[in-house]
Structures are given as structure tokens and as C-alpha cells.
Structure 1
């Protein structure tokens, strides 16, 4: 099932807002957000983090050198949904994942962000989310309404 929500914020702010509802039981240090194949976007995440005081390690990662052991969160912006799914399938337990290039959100990332007019919207891929080892507070899901209607 896919659900979606609407916000006036940027992809970065919306991502950090969603992450505020996430709980990693196995992480004792600061979670690492790996921005895949988009160093400019990684810089934007760092800027938003500094402005808002979020606590994440943000790393610009190349798909070819992606460190599966250190990335707790993946942000895709250049890959197709099938390519996202292929990357996620390479993990025993997939990390929490976000995409700004996966509007249907049927495969690939757990959270799919997109622009709708002047707003940032997101969909939740419940199947992908359930495969992660991350507990996301159900309140983030209350922000979304079913697209099945």
C-alpha cells in the first residue's frame, strides 16, 4: 500500500522531518545519511542540517563506492526505481531509504518525495519500509492519506 502527504518544505527539510519520527534500536552513535551520486544535494542537506540543528552524519556517496556498513539512510535522486531496488536488495537488512526520483513509489525507496505545484509531497512504500530495521512512529503515517481512494 502506498500513502502520500503534502508539505510546503524542501526535499531536505521534509526528509529531516520524516527522520525525526525514526528510531534505530541498533545504532548507538549518530545515524549516517548517504546521498547517492549527487554531491550538490549532499551539500544542501548539510546546509539545512546546520540551520536546523539536526544530528546526522551526511556523506556524499558514489554508487560505486557505497559503504553498506556505514549508511543507515540512503537518499537517491538520480537512480530509477528499479536501480534503487537493486541497491536495496544488496543489503541483508535494507537501510531507511528516500528518493526524489520515484513518483510511483511502488518499488525502491521507503519514502518517495516529489514536487506538486509549490509543495513537496511524499509517498510511503509500506513494503519497503517494513523491510528496514528502523521503527518509524506511526504519526508520520498519519500525515499521509491513502492514494487508493
Structure 2
């Protein structure tokens, strides 16, 4: 077997070939990582949508709306899939719209609110406005579920769990099926 001598010209060519290979491979690696992150975000959004639709399907309002109106309040991280709108398993259509936290239409045009990231003051004002009204509230942001939302999501990887604020449920006038309350209790007991 004959070994070619490494001359300065050959070293330079090898470096150029190696550099060219890296230039071609690294963007593909970065794109693969970006695609994996996008896929994880999509999976989280779909998982959140399933949980939210499940919660909504087990809720009963004093006057059942023909078409359920869900309002997204504030910047949200996992609500992209919800924005598309959908039909619940019961066949009732779900319309979704974005509103600002101080929008007065929240009280008249929202049967449920999905609360994203809000300042403490904006969150307090929103919770005060819907307190005692038949509006189901689901909080996405890291909410300890003691500040007024009926449901608080806990998203980890592609798993979505939720906590329930029983005091807020009682004040809202929206009835929640006991099996949903039991489900949250079982999930809370799991490590």
C-alpha cells in the first residue's frame, strides 16, 4: 500500500474539502434541530388543544351556548392549534378569537377565556371582571391556580396536566363534571 506524502498543496486541498463538507453539513444539522423544536412546539400545541377541548366538553353553562366562544387573552405559547377553531366532540362548534385583557367584549362575547402571559395588574383586572360571571377561565402561564383561574395548565414536554381552583369554579356559575375534577386530583398525586 502506497501512502501519499502530505505536501502543503494537499493539506490546503484537504482543509478546503473539509471546510466545504462542514459548510454543507452544519446547516442541515441546524435545520434538523429547528425542525425538531418546531415539531415539539406543534406537539405541545396539539396536546394543549386536546386538554382544553376536554375541559370545555365537561363544562355546563347556566344558558348553554349554541356555539361556544373561546377568547384568547394576552400572548400565548401553546394556543396556536386552538386558533384554527374546531368542533367539539359533542358537535358544537367552537369559535376562537384574540382579545386584549381590558376589552369589554370579554364579558359579553366569551363563554371561556384562555389566559396567556399578562402582567399581574392585567391578570387581576381580568379575573375581577369575570369573577362571578359564567365564564370558564383556563390559565396557560405558570399560574399557581390560586389567583382566580378555574383551570391552570401545566405543560411539560408533550404532557399537559391541569390544576383546578374549586373556589373559582364555585363562584363562576359554570358547572364542571366531577370526573374532570377527579382527573385533576389524580394527576396532582402522580409524581
Unaligned 5+ runs, structure 1: 1-7
Q: What's the C-alpha RMSD, in Å, of the aligned pairs?
A: 3.0
Higher helix share: 2
Using the size of structure 1 for normalisation, the TM-score is 0.77
- Bigger radius of gyration: 2
Q: Where in structure 2 are the equivalents of 1:38-49 lying within 5 Å?
A: 38=75, 43-47=80-84, 49=86
Could you tell me which of 36, 40, 43 is aligned with 2:73?
36
Structure 1 residue 54 displacement after superposition: 5.7
Change (3 A) 1:118 1:57: closer
Structure possessing the higher relative contact order (Cα contacts under 8 Å, 6 or more residues apart): 1
Could you tell me which of 149, 152, 160 is aligned with 1:112?
152
User: Greater shift after overlay, 73-82 or 36-45?
Assistant: 36-45
Contact preservation (8 Å) 2:84, 2:96: no
Contact preservation (8 Å) 2:76, 2:117: no
Unaligned 5+ runs, structure 2: 1-43
Using the size of structure 2 for normalisation, the TM-score is 0.62
Which SS does the other structure have where 1:105 is aligned? coil
Contact preservation (8 Å) 1:36, 1:60: yes
